[in-house]
């Protein structure tokens, strides 16, 4: 599919784009002139978003090798990859965690980032003037550890290692890690608490929170830097979490 060459040529792929930080990032990049390929599992939401921003919707499950390979086959140019798909499940002490939750968190946050990066790296390396850029969505959970967070903390620490390894191994592509703190999105805590809306809302009620748009603005700014500049790491927190 030669989707990327229809507009001004610059093509961004955003995973986990059907809601939250992914959706907001896709909107911000499109407003900045990028052609955005919005990739996630929920096709209907993606198609509505793609229509809204003049982008392209591609169904993607980052835990599925076949689905990830199919994404790459549909693209002939990628200048920017935003590895945003991921999330948390559960907030139990390590002794009580479910191994299936660990597996899900590693499969999405860690291996999902690796899978999509591996298949799109050749296209990113071919971006003009070595301008190819990968933005990995990390978290403050990748730096700190909190009670009940062991699996998510370990997964996000893993994302940070991926960002660092890529940065030293591949100088043809730039690698940025964005590490948000408390961001009030529709789904992050709802997923973590397995649909318990009251418990999810309590994470943000009475707190000063960032919005998905705050993080999207950082994505837009990082992506707008000239090719010789690499923003290594950026941590974003609401003022009261700092």
Residues contributing to the site for ligand 8X3 (CB under 6 A): 139-141, 180-182
**Of the two residues 2 and 198, which places its CB atom closer to ligand 8X3 in the complex?**
198
Distance, in Å, from the CA atom of 175 to the CA atom of 114, rounded to the nearest integer, reads 13
Q: Are 42 and 87 in contact (CB under 8 A)?
A: no
The least distance separating ligand 8X3 from the CB of residue 219, rounded to whole angstroms, comes to: 15
Q: Could you say which of 34, 102, 104, 152 is catalytic?
A: 152
Show Cβ contacts of residue 221 under 8 Å, excluding neighbours closer than 6 positions: none
By beta-carbon proximity to ligand 8X3, the closer residue of 16 and 181 is: 181
204 is catalytic: no
Q: What is the Cα–Cα distance from 185 to 130, expressed in whole angstroms?
A: 34
User: Whole-number minimum distance, CB 141 to ligand 8X3, in Å?
Assistant: 3
Whichever of 174 and 182 has its CB closer to ligand 8X3, that residue is 182
Helices 43-53, 20-31: axis angle to 10 degrees equals: 20
Strand ordering across the sheet containing 174-180? 56-59, 35-40, 11-15, 80-83, 133-137, 174-180, 233-236
Q: How far is the CB of 129 from ligand 8X3 (least distance, A)?
A: 33
Using CA atoms, how far residue 150 sits from 86, 88, 144, 168, 191, in Å, is: 15, 10, 10, 27, 16
Shortest distance, position 104 Cβ to ligand 8X3, whole Å: 15
Cβ nearer to ligand 8X3, comparing 130 with 235:
235
Active site residues: 152
């Amino acid at each position: 599919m030669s989707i990327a060459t229809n507009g001004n040529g610059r093509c961004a792929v955003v995973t986990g784009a059907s809601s939250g930080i992914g959706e907001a990032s896709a909107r911000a990049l499109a407003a900045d002139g990028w052609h955005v390929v919005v990739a996630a599992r929920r096709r209907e939401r993606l198609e509505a978003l793609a229509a809204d921003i003049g982008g392209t919707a591609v169904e993607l499950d980052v835990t599925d090798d076949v689905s990830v390979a199919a994404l790459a086959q549909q693209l002939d140019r990628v200048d920017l990859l935003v590895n945003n798909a991921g999330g948390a499940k559960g907030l139990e002490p390590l002794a009580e965690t479910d191994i299936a939750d660990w597996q899900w968190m590693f499969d999405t946050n860690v291996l999902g980032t690796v899978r999509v990066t591996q298949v799109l790296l050749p296209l990113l390396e071919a971006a003009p003037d070595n301008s190819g850029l990968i933005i990995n969505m990390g978290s403050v959970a990748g730096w700190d550890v909190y009670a009940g967070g062991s699996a998510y903390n370990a997964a996000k620490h893993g994302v940070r290692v991926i960002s660092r390894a890529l940065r030293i191994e591949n100088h043809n592509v730039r690698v940025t890690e964005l590490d948000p703190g408390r961001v009030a999105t529709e789904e992050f805590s709802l997923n973590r608490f397995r649909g318990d809306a009251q418990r999810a809302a309590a994470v943000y009620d009475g707190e000063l929170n960032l919005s998905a748009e705050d993080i999207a603005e950082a994505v837009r700014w990082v992506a707008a830097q000239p090719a010789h500049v690499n923003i290594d790491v950026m941590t974003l927190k609401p003022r009261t979490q700092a």
